[in-house]
Amino acid sequence: MHESVNAVPRQWASINELCDLVRETSFAIHRYHRSGHLEKVYENALAHRLRKLGLDVKQQHPLAVYDEDGTALGEFFADLFVENCLVVELKACRAVAEEHVAQLLGYLRASRIETGLLVNFGAAKLQIRKYLLTQERP
C-alpha cells in the first residue's frame, strides 16, 4: 500500500473540504453541460476543472485491491483519484442504482481508501453522495 493513500494533503484541513470542492465543481459542470453526455465527457470536464484549481487529479488511475491479509490481488481503475486520497466514481445514468453504490464501497474496501464520492451527471438534477468506509484495525 502506498504511504500517501488516505493521507489528506496539508493544504486541506479535512477530507470534507476536498469533497466540498469536488461537489461544487460537479454542480458547476452539471449546470453548464446538463445531462445527456457520455460518462467520459463528465470525467474529462471534472478532471480539467479540478486541475485548473491546482488539484492533483488522476484519471482511470489503477489502485491495488488487497485481500484481508494484505495480499495484493489485482487492481481496479478509479474514474478519478483526487489528491491521492479521494476516489471519485462517475456515472451518467438516469438514477443511481444499488450496484453503483456497491461498486464504490467495494473499491473503497478492497483498496483500503476511506473516502469516495459517487457522482451521477445523467439525471436532470445532479446526484452526489459521499461514502466513508473506515477500516477495522486489529
- Please spell the DSSP secondary structure of 42-80, one letter per residue: HHHHHHHHHHHTT--EEEEEEEEEE-TTS-EEEEEEEEE
pLDDT of residue 87: 97
pLDDT of residue 110: 86
pLDDT of residue 3: 40
pLDDT of residue 134: 81
Residue ranges of the chain whose pLDDT lies below 70: 1-12, 135-138
Which candidate, 41, 46, 131, places its Cα nearest to that of 86? 131
pLDDT of residue 4: 44
Integer Cα distance of 6 and 85 in angstroms: 5
**Roughly what angle, to the nearest 10 degrees, separates helices 15-33 and 39-52?**
120
Residue ranges of domains in the chain:
15-132
Q: What is the DSSP letter of 132?
A: E
Integer Cα distance of 54 and 74 in angstroms: 30
pTM for the whole structure? 0.88
